[in-house]
Every structure is written in structure tokens, then in C-alpha cells.
Amino acid sequence: MYRKKMRGMYISKKALKNQFDPSKFPRETYLLCKLRWGESDRSWIHWVKNYSDNYHAEVYFLEKIFRMKPYTNVNCSITWYLSWSPCVNCCYEILDFLERHKNVKIDIHVARLYFKDSEGTHRGLKKLARSTQVKINVMNMEGKFSCALWDRERYCWYFCCRWKIQPKDFKRNYLPGQHPQVVYLLYEIRWRNGSIWRNWFSNNRNQHAEVNFLENCFSDVPPAPCSITWFLSTSPCGKCSRRILEFLRTHRNVTLEIYAAKLFRHQDMRNRQGLCNLVMNGVSIRIMNLADYSYCWKRFVAYQHGEDDYWPQNFAAYIFLNWRELGHIFLGLPPLLPY
């Protein structure tokens, strides 16, 4: 039914990383495809790239790879991961194709936009997006890498967990009763279009993790409405709290939610005041509970097979203490915990 000889099912991890890393600008376009007929739970995977300038990957796929089944009463769902968004011609080719194949739907995820300033491209993409047979999105950026997260389906073109943090680093730094040198900030940015970016920062010699986030993460991101969640190994210090408020003042359409594993030098009035100011300005601050640990583990940690969950029951007492102390901070009461 399908010709497999042009390209195989699998692509090397190296090629994937180079082609789908949105900070790079490769010359080729890669198209990774998953295709499913009807309600079947079996899907077929394949990948192609553009064939010189004349044959773009999208058209190549639709014309040379895709084979219609003889019956048209069964729906066909196609998912594409494209390293570049379709050019204007391809947009129209895709629409033409869908016009001829009403039972096909295409869910397109792109790693980066091709000719993003061209009017023509905009028009083409808008038309695509308006089609009821198409969904088009920028890939969920798992940090710098666009992660297709297909490992569970044991597909080779899984983008490795390189961006994630090591289990031992997570465990060590998110202990609620100790204060290691390194502070971690795991973040999620939820955009209006439903895409979620996840990655993490830590502090370095010059800057706290929070400042690293504010300076690096939003420097080249358009000020679109979004909600940010941080999972911090330690709550923000007084200085960082001020920086956060400055940032929120200049980014009115951004909301921030902070989960902290423990409080940073909670005896210091400046830190207490900082947290109060954050809360008074609409930032939500909570102490991480066991479910939050489990959540972070599943999404941010490069855990090994068989370590699918992390539910550190023995943290419960510390979580409770930190939670009570945070309550005291918000109420303007003196410190409870001696350390």
C-alpha cells in the first residue's frame, strides 16, 4: 500500500535534533508522519524530506507516499511534524489535496515558521488553519528541542530527554528540609493556542534562577498572553521578588503561579516582605505537595524505565511546616520555624 523505499520509518536522533531545533536554520525540511485509519489503534509512521527545491516535503508526501484506500467512508487522521511550516505553495497544495479527500484530516505541528514575514505565507497558513480538516500549531517546545514525545510508542524518532533534569538532581534539590547550593526553576508556559513550553533554569554565579528565566525566556518571545508556572526548589529571595513584579508590570497579559519546595531564608524580613508583595500583586505562591512532586517528576525528569512516579511520603512533615510558615508570612506574623 505504501512505498517505504524512499525514506524509512526511522530517522537518526542527530538529524532530528538538528532539523527540529528551532534555534537552528537548516536548509532542508523534514516531515515526520503518523497516519491512522478509522478507529484502528495501529498507526503507520514514515518520514520524508524535501526532494531538492522542486519537491517540498509536504507535496512529496501527498503525491508520492500517500495512497488512498479504495473506500472513502473510513476517516484517515494524519499527524505531521514539520521542521519548517509549509510555504505558500504547499499550503494551497495541501488544501487542494484535502478538497479531493474529504475523509482525511491533518494535524500539523511545525518547529519553526518558514518566511514568517511574507504576506503570502500568512495568507496560506491562515487558509490552512481555517480549514475544518486541518489543525496547525507550533510544536510544544520542550525547551530548545521540540519534543514529539513518542517514546511511549517506542518510535525511534523520539527526541531524547536531553533537556530534562537528572533524577538525582531533582531528588537532591527538591528536598523540602535542606538547602543545596543550586536552585532549580522548572517552568511551564501555557499559550492561548494550547501549546505548552517546558524547560528549566538553575542559578549561576551571577544570577538567580528566576532572573535567568526572566532575561532569557522572554527576550525573544512575542508578548502574547500566557500563563507561567514555576516549580522552584526554593522560594524567591526579596530581590528576585522585586524583579518578578517589575516583569509582570511590563507584561500585563502574563500570569505567574509559583510552587516552591521550601522557603528561602525565611527569617530574613526582606524575603518575607518579597513574598507578601508577590501575593498582593496577584502571583500565587504555594508549597509543593506530594502531587506536585509527582507532576514534576513525570514532566521534567529524565527518569528511567520503571521509575514512573515519585511520591516522597516522608516529605509530608516538612511540607506541612513550610506551608504553615508561608501562612505566617502572608499574615505578617513572626517566623515559626527556627532554621
Catalogue the active-site residues.
210
Does 240 bind Zn ion (CB under 5 A)? Our answer is yes
Min dist CB 156 to Zn ion, Å, is: 26
The span of 98-106, 206-214, 248-256, 319-327 binding Zn ion (CB under 5 A) equals 206-214
Nearest one of 266, 264, 225 to 248, comparing CA atoms: 225
Does 263 bind Zn ion (CB under 5 A)? Our answer is no
Min dist CB 13 to Zn ion, Å, is: 25
Min dist CB 149 to Zn ion, Å, is: 26
Does 209 bind Zn ion (CB under 5 A)? Our answer is no
Does 87 bind Zn ion (CB under 5 A)? Our answer is yes
Q: 201 vs 297, which CB is nearer to Zn ion?
A: 201
Q: 112 vs 208, which CB is nearer to Zn ion?
A: 208
Q: 264 vs 310, which CB is nearer to Zn ion?
A: 264
Does 285 bind Zn ion (CB under 5 A)? Our answer is no
Does 237 bind Zn ion (CB under 5 A)? Our answer is yes
Does 90 bind Zn ion (CB under 5 A)? Our answer is yes
Q: 60 vs 295, which CB is nearer to Zn ion?
A: 60
Does 260 bind Zn ion (CB under 5 A)? Our answer is no
Does 243 bind Zn ion (CB under 5 A)? Our answer is no
The span of 38-46, 49-57, 139-147, 321-329 binding Zn ion (CB under 5 A) equals 49-57
| Interstrand relation of 104-110 and 134-138 (parallel, antiparallel or unpaired) | parallel
The correct pick among 46, 112, 198, 208 for binding Zn ion (CB under 5 A) is: 208
Q: 145 vs 201, which CB is nearer to Zn ion?
A: 201
CA distance linking residue 314 with residue 318, whole number of Å: 8
Per-residue three-class SS string for the chain: CCCCCCCCCCCCHHHHHHHHCCCCCCCCCEEEEEEEECCCCCEEEEEEECECCCECHHHHHHHHHCCCCCCCCCCEEEEEEECCCCCHHHHHHHHHHHHHCCCEEEEEEECCCCCCCCHHHHHHHHHHHHCCCEEEEECCEECCEECCCCHHHCCCCCCCCCCCECHHHHHHHCCCCCCCCCCEEEEEEEECCCCEEEEEEECCCCCCHHHHHHHHHCCCCCCCCEEEEEEECCCCCHHHHHHHHHHHHHCCCEEEEEEECCCCCCCCHHHHHHHHHHHHCCCEEEECCHHHHHHHHHHHECCCCCCCCCCCHHHHHHHHHHHHHHHHHHHCCCCCCCC
Does 56 bind Zn ion (CB under 5 A)? Our answer is yes
Min dist CB 44 to Zn ion, Å, is: 23
CA distance linking residue 176 with residue 249, whole number of Å: 31
Q: 87 vs 275, which CB is nearer to Zn ion?
A: 87
Size of the site for Zn ion (CB under 5 A): 6
CA distance linking residue 158 with residue 172, whole number of Å: 27
Min dist CB 95 to Zn ion, Å, is: 13
Does 49 bind Zn ion (CB under 5 A)? Our answer is no
Does 147 bind Zn ion (CB under 5 A)? Our answer is no
| Alpha carbon of residue 298 to chain centroid | 13
The span of 133-141, 159-167, 204-212, 288-296 binding Zn ion (CB under 5 A) equals 204-212
Does 88 bind Zn ion (CB under 5 A)? Our answer is no
Give contact residues for Zn ion (rule: CB under 5 A).
56, 87, 90, 208, 237, 240
